[in-house]
């Protein structure tokens, strides 16, 4: 398992390229907060090394008002931290 060869794992949620949307990764995962929190929670439960998340400021176009702009970004960061990141 990779945890034996690295110091930490990072979930990169910063890539805005269209290929990331087609592949369902990068910044496009920021639209799926429940999935992100579950990924981090499972990592925290099953890995013996730290995990981190690199994210972008959430855009203002999210249909969920609690996931928009700076406050939405801070809310997501708190949720990811509570899940173990």
The catalytic residues are 15
**Residue of 49, 57, 61, 48 lying closest to 76 (CA atoms):** 57
| 58 bridge partner residues | 69
Question: What is the distance between the alpha carbons of residues 67 and 47, in angstroms, rounded to a whole number?
Answer: 28
Question: What is the distance between the alpha carbons of residues 51 and 3, in angstroms, rounded to a whole number?
Answer: 10
């Amino acid at each position: 398992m990779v945890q034996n060869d690295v110091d930490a794992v990072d979930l990169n949620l910063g890539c805005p390229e269209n290929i990331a949307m087609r592949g369902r990764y990068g910044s496009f995962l920021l639209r799926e907060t429940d999935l992100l929190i579950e990924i981090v929670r499972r990592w925290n439960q099953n890995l013996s090394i730290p995990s981190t998340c690199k994210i972008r400021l959430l855009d203002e176009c999210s249909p969920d008002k609690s996931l928009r702009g700076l406050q939405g970004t801070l809310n997501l960061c708190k949720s990811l931290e509570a899940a173990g990141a």
